[in-house]
Amino acid sequence: MPVFLVTWDLNREKPNYNQARDRLIQHLSRYQHIKDPGLDSVWFVSSTSSADQIDADVRTQMDNNDRLFVTKIVSGQHQGWLAKNVWEWINARI
């Protein structure tokens, strides 16, 4: 099943920032996922949906002044410095 990198930034000036962040994380948790402990607002999700579909779904939990980026990870076209278990999870799925 494809793996997508999902990263976001919520507007911290909103009065309900903590509630909005908790709601977004709860929503994202519906996807099969893993996150690296060093990357706070970056998740790797596995889904048969497209990047457009994931974007549209996650945006239902965000305001217009928040930011979101979703991209599909392609085998042989990614690199980085992540926890070993995160790499194992990603590589087992792509």
Rounded to whole angstroms, the Cα distance separating 69 from 4 reads: 10
Q: Which residues contact 28 (CB under 8 A, 6 or more apart)?
A: 6, 43, 45, 58
Rounded to whole angstroms, the Cα distance separating 81 from 91 reads: 14
Q: Which residues contact 69 (CB under 8 A, 6 or more apart)?
A: 5, 6, 7, 8
- Tell me which residue range forms the domain holding 35: 3-91
**Is the Cα dihedral 3, 41, 62, 11 positive or negative?**
negative
The 10s digit of each residue's pLDDT in 20-33 is 999 999 999 999 99
Which CATH number characterizes residue 16's domain? 3.30.70.240
| Structural domain total, the chain | 1
The 10s digit of each residue's pLDDT in 5-62 is 999 999 877 788 899 999 999 999 999 999 999 999 999 999 999 999 999 999 999 9
